[in-house]
Amino acid sequence: MFISSHNQLAENVYQAVVLNPHLRQDRFEIETVGNKVTLRGTVGTYYQKQVAQEAVREIEGVELIDNDLTVEWN
């Protein structure tokens, strides 16, 4: 996993994703700009894409989520 910005919001997002047992963290990138979080990369299922978005949605301070994750069937 790659975090392109280093601030408290980015750290909180990172922790939410790392602690989620349904996500493979090594396959996507987190970017924060202000209160906007962008998720990029690939996940294995649409469920994982939704789980990632919902994990981020619950974080205090997140106002906008740009979910650019792509589902890549293995």
Q: How confident is the model at residue 6 (pLDDT cuts 50, 70, 90)?
A: low
Q: How confident is the model at residue 71 (pLDDT cuts 50, 70, 90)?
A: very high
Between 5 and 36, the more confident residue is: 36
Given a cut of 90, whether residue 74 has pLDDT beyond it is: no
What local confidence, expressed as pLDDT, does residue 65 receive? 97
pLDDT tens-place string over residues 10-69: 889 988 988 899 887 668 888 999 999 999 999 989 999 999 999 999 999 999 999 999
CA distance 74 to 58: 29
